[in-house]
Amino acid sequence: MNRDRIRIEIDHRLLDVESGATLMEALIAGGEMIRADCGGRGRCGKCVVQVDRPTPASISAPGETERILLGEEKLNLGLRLACCTHVLGDILVSVPESSRLSAEVLPKAPILFPPSARDSAPGKRPSPSGGHGIAVDLGTTTIALYLCDLSAGTVLGSTSARNLQSLFGEDVISRIGAVMTRREGLRRLQVLAAKTIDWAATALSHRLQIDPRRLESAVVVGNSTMIHLLLGEDPSSIGVFPYTPRFTAAQMRRGDRIGLNFNPDIQVQSFPLISGFLGADLVAAALAVDFPSLSPGSLLVDIGTNGEIILKTKEGFAAASCATGPALEGAAIRHGMHAVSGAIDSVRFNGDTRRLEWRLIQQNPQNHQPPSGICGSGVISIIAELLRAGVLLPNGSYNRDFDSPCLHQGPGGTLAFEIVPEAIARGGKAIVLTQADVRAVQLAKGALRTGIELLCREHGFERPSRILLAGSFGSSIQTADALRIGMFPEISEAEIECVGNAAGRGAILGLCHPACFDAAHELASCTRVFDLAAHPDFQKTFIANLSF
């Protein structure tokens, strides 16, 4: 037998997977989607599986992370965390229902196309028969999928899941490094993205009583690296100077060429790219908000793991990328999760109890979920409230003199603030915001604000006249909270508009109005790329923007 391959028996079927892979990666490659609220980083403890009679020759030994999150008793019963366990030989595995990924279907929503799209492509559809298709926002941290009625131009439902490429790193540079250094790294990263899209499209179709084999077209947007990985194109050139992608034009592939099984014949089209670090997601977001029609000084901010900003100048468009990292999306945070039921999305500090009162996302009132973690808008809300209360100091450190029963000292003397006590939290572990979490947000918001200030200064604007805030939490973040933590230059709340997932809406726009691809190409080709890191004031401005 080829010992580079091993067999996993699950649900009376055999999966043939690569030896040495994590159990999570192996299960996903075999079509078994399991929970990974932390992106497979060994933080959330949600990917528990049962391994029957493991031996040292069949799986790796438990590490410190598993011992902390599971405890010796559960480990002795054969329970393991799939993201921390490497498969070395043939094993028998079962996955509890609580560990399986479940598609949370968001309600129907009409899409308001900008006038330019309606005027340029009246009645245009991907096929004369109408039918159904999917629009995909392939984010570094989160993958969002929308199932659309093409003839009506409406969203029938949507769902999202963590991008499990996080197993290979939380940012695009880490994933490019995995392609360059790991055996079959490109193929493995492509499989993780394709399997997640496959799962989401199938689950959403079944929930909406639509045959997934009849989904006839798909439009995908994402940053340049994510698009390359999904299409099976080597992104290595993006990771080294001059950071040039293999292509910038819109691409077309058949589903089976990129590993989509729900309909191998589906036609998948990607939006064009601007540069190596300014991708199809920014182009899609700009079209969704009708950016070309806005007045000079308007700024579109698409916040993700790689923050992308585009400014309407007096001459045209200028754009830059900011290395924000995944903290603003709830990833790289100890108890971070994406915005689904059970996630804390806002808080208020109670001066009497000296505790935080929290609000949960609950998509289905009949299926109430306990507190499970913190999404991106929740992270911003918590830090803003702790700053207002004086729990956090302007330099980002916890105030050791602050009197609160929730301010605890952890290992090594570092402080953390308890948001949800263990008696209420899902899994019986308290949900906290650690000092490291705060530092991650400081770095992210410092990078974003520095990008905005330098881009505006370079093009003759003291500050933006208007900010359109897009991204995974663009529909729920409180602008007052974002201003309080110093995410943006001094600007009034009235001049900030939250536009939600504009990149996803742009993908829907391209799916229902294919003529918009011409506008996308024009916008991508005429946008001036501004290199922040090369600006002489970058380091000084970045350091100044770290404080709250």
Query: Each residue of 194-229: pLDDT tens digit?
Result: 999 999 999 999 999 999 999 999 999 999 999 999
How many other CB atoms are there within 10 angstroms of residue 521's CB atom? Answer: 16
Q: Which residue has the tokens 């911003």?
A: 380
Domain count, the chain: 4
Pick from 130, 448, 504, 455: nearest CA to 287:
504
For residues 254 and 301, membership in a common domain is answered with no
Please give the residue range of the domain that contains residue 142.
Answer: 109-280
Rounded CA-CA distance 149/175 in Å is 34
Render pLDDT for 353-403 as a digit per residue (tens, 0 to 9): 999 999 998 877 777 889 989 988 899 999 999 999 999 999 999 999 999
Q: How far apart are CA 251 and CA 145, in angstroms?
A: 19
Q: What is the dihedral angle through the alpha carbons of 30, 36, 39, 45, rounded to the nearest 10 degrees?
A: -130
Burial classification of residue 136, based on how many CB atoms lie within 10 Å of its CB (0-12 exposed, 13-18 middle, 19 or more buried) = buried
The fraction of the chain above a pLDDT of 70, given in percent, is 93
Domain finish residue from 41, 69, 99: 99
Residues 38, 153: one domain?
Answer: no
Indicate whether 511 belongs to any domain.
no
134, 237: one domain: yes
Residue 127: pLDDT band (50, 70, 90) is very low
Mean pLDDT of 312-336: 86
Residue 235 lies in a domain: yes
Cα-flanking dihedrals φ and ψ of residue 210, to 5°?
Answer: -120, 135
Structure tokens at 429: 């572990």
Would 513 be classed as within a structural domain?
Answer: no
User: Do 254 and 363 fall within a single domain?
Assistant: no
Residue 425 resides in a domain: yes
Is 509 part of a structural domain of the chain?
A: no
Q: What are phi and psi of 380, to 5 degrees?
A: -65, -45
Answer for the pair 332, 167: CB distance below 8 angstroms, yes or no. no
> How far apart are the C-alpha atoms of 174 and 164, rounded to whole Å?
13
**Tens-place pLDDT, residues 83-112:** 999 988 888 998 888 888 776 665 544 455
Has residue 244 been placed in a domain? Answer: yes
Which neighbouring-strand residues pair with 267? 217, 254
Same domain, 86 and 205: no
Do 133 and 238 belong together in one domain?
yes
State both tokens at 334: 């100890």
Q: Residue 207's domain is classified under what CATH number? A: 3.30.420.480
Q: Does residue 512 lie in a domain region?
A: no
Residue 67 lies in a domain: yes
Average pLDDT value for the chain: 88
Of the spans 234-238, 241-245, 474-478, which averages the highest pLDDT?
A: 234-238
Q: Select from 160, 147, 106, 108 the least CA-distant residue to 364.
A: 106
